[in-house]
Chain A
Amino acid sequence: MRNLTGADIICECLIEQGVDTVFGYPGGAVLNIYDSLYNYSDKIHHVLTAHEQGASHAADGYARSTGKTGVVIATSGPGATNLVTGIATAYMDSVPMVAITGNVACSLLGLDSFQEVDITGITMPITKHNFIVKDVNKLADTLREAFYIAGSGRKGPVLVDVPKDITAQKAEFVNKPLKPYTVNVTMHQDDCIAKAAELIKSAERPFLYTGGGIYGDDGAKTLKAFAELIDAPVSSSLMGQGSFDETDSRYMGMLGMHGTKTAAEAIKNCDLFIAVGTRFSDRVIGNPKTFAPDAKVLHIDIDPAEINKNIKVYHQVIGDSTDVMKKLIKIIPQQSHTDWIGRIKAWEKQYECRQKGTEELTLTPQHLIETLDKLTNGEALIATEVGQSQMWAAQYYAYKHPHQLITSGGLGTMGYGLGAAIGAKCGNPDKTVVNVAGDGSFHMNLNELVTLSKHNIPVVELVINNNVLGMVRQWQRLFYGKRFSQTTLDRPTDYMKLGEAFGIKSFVIDSEDKCEEILREALEVSKTAPVLIEARIDKDINVLPMVPAGKSITEPILEIEIDD
């Protein structure tokens, strides 16, 4: 038993939880915590970002890419509110994160003191749970509980607010064994599994759809075995990209607003839709009335509240997706749906579409991302910003591992990617990490370039520059009579000079024929140092296919005419 300050207790608890990397930004209310981090610097590596938002996205990217809980530390008031977008992003995508914020001393709480904000009140709807610790004797157990909540069941962010005096006060500290994560819901019964197996056995045209609830090699292997056993074609949500190896012939491409036409045809014609570890986002189902019109829906998920929320299901199994699939594999004999798979193959051939530039040799995003895929052997961790660039990164890179694509799917946070890439690289120093950005998103949080150069975090920042806010422009073209209100950016930013100013080697790609050569050179440099690449494309390349919001998922637009 040791008598430690609250700040030391925080560090001890982090070590107890296996945390070796934290992201954050110092300030008045966390002075004691940072003083303690100074002592613990050999055990806890602190990555200082340019802005708390960047730190929150870094903790998120770290968590997604390592499977561990990400940790971010910020001071009271504006430090804490700057975390809000990052916490909300993590919440929407079920990312385990613990945010530790300082607050003013207990005696100053509620008095509108300097840099005081009610951060537990503010983050209530965007955390799994949050705490304010007003008794130093409860600090350690509260932190332990925060990690437990973040990592158990459906994962998510938890915030712990610690007033400054608590970090200075002392309490007895004893290490405790980790509480194992549980599913924490009433688990499925055997007859429930048996009914699911019956449904699968009697299906003639099954459709296997997966989401972000598949984790790690075990999840991916189980999913592959399951798909082969039930002989179903596979599609994934944006969050599920890579849960099923996209180079596998069973894979139909993404499902949803910018999913493939093949997946859309399969939805229209399937008789059993099996959703595993996914939540039926509106971006996937389009109009719920016309979703999978001839199919029974079988939903396998860890969160009971997702059942019947957006889509009425025929049968559900509540539990860890991988665990449930393993149980199903044991009791289902090998299925065969040769005709059905044949039809899928025919659609794939019929609806194959290549992106076209407006002029010959113009660089297309498709060519760019496919070249990136080729040069990185499809093994890079790809972070994204939000919008067209995000969709291109999702569509044209063939992911092979769950959560290899690190993207803000639920909240759609522009400015997410660079911070997330920093976190991903810190957690995976041996992997190539690329952030695929658009010029719009890039300008939101480009300050984190300095984090790359200062700490020499060798991330590839790939900015696809079309000089417009492309996705919004695409909607304006289709639904707002081509009135391009505030989406023509045409910013004078000189990316070469900008990179140089931050001490980052920079490259420009402006034609298809030079794409591979420059990208290869940049990737070579990125083995030891961060790089910035500006890839110039035409402003009117659209993301296709596209299902307009609320329209039937089975009828995507395949072409948009550009006549201006």
Chain B
Amino acid sequence: MTERNVISVCVNNGIGVLGRVTGLFSRRGYNIISLNVAETENLGISRMTIVAEGDEGVMEQLVKQLRKLYDVSEVKVLRDAVCREHIIMKVGNGPASRQPVIEIANLFRAKVVNVAESRLMLELTGEPEKIDSFIGLLQPYGVKELVRTGISALERD
């Protein structure tokens, strides 16, 4: 059955490494839903959190093919993990929308990070589902622009 999986990949922090990983996905026809990459506690190593779609066979192949890459030191499909995503968005269609938007933001413990004449800029960190419903609730007030980081995740001990 096709489902979304969160994969954590440790790679050498070097030029072209991202290209090697994404190149593998594209040439083997694996679909990336989101990809997030940054340095770790070890400056030589970056961690990628990739959300990919595929059935059991595809996931098995994907993990094995990733492990064959020279720059990849660790690949894990996360089962029990803390998954978080960060979003920044501009919402509002005039001064009248300000109050209800702030109300929703407070309910989600989102922060108002900028105030303009007709819009607010909000930021929120949470599980992807929470981010989805946050966006959904704000739709009626005019979502002008938004950026999501994609999931970053760590397995629980």
Contacts from A to B (Cβ < 8 Å): 120-121, 124-125, 128-129, 149, 303-305, 307-309
Contacts and interface: CB of A to CB of B under 8 A. Distances in A.
B23 A308 contact: no
Given A125-B27, A128-B70, A149-B70, A305 B61 contact: yes
A307 B64 CA distance: 9
Nearest to A307: B64
B60 interface: yes
A129 B19 contact: no
B70 A308 contact: no
A308 B60 CA distance: 9
Nearest to A186: B67
Contacts of B64: 304-305, 307
B61 A120 contact: no
B19 A124 contact: yes
Contact of B16 (A120, A303, A305, A308): A120
Nearest to A309: B61
B57 interface: yes
B20 interface: yes
Interface in B66-122: 67-71
B65 interface: yes
Nearest to B70: A129
Given A124-B19, A124-B23, A305 B70 contact: no
Interface residues of B, number: 16
A25 B19 CA distance: 30
Nearest to A124: B23
B60 to A, nearest CB: 6
Contacts of B69: 129
Contacts of A304: 64, 67
A303 B65 CA distance: 10
A536 B142 CA distance: 77
Contacts of B27: 125
List of 5 A-B pairs having minimum Cβ-Cβ separation, nearest first? A305-B64, A129-B70, A304-B64, A125-B27, A305-B65
A304 B71 CA distance: 18
Nearest to B20: A124
A235 B23 CA distance: 36
Contacts of B68: 303, 305
Most A CB within 10 A of own CB, among B19, B20, B70: B70
Interface string B7-49: 0000000001001100110010000000000000000000000
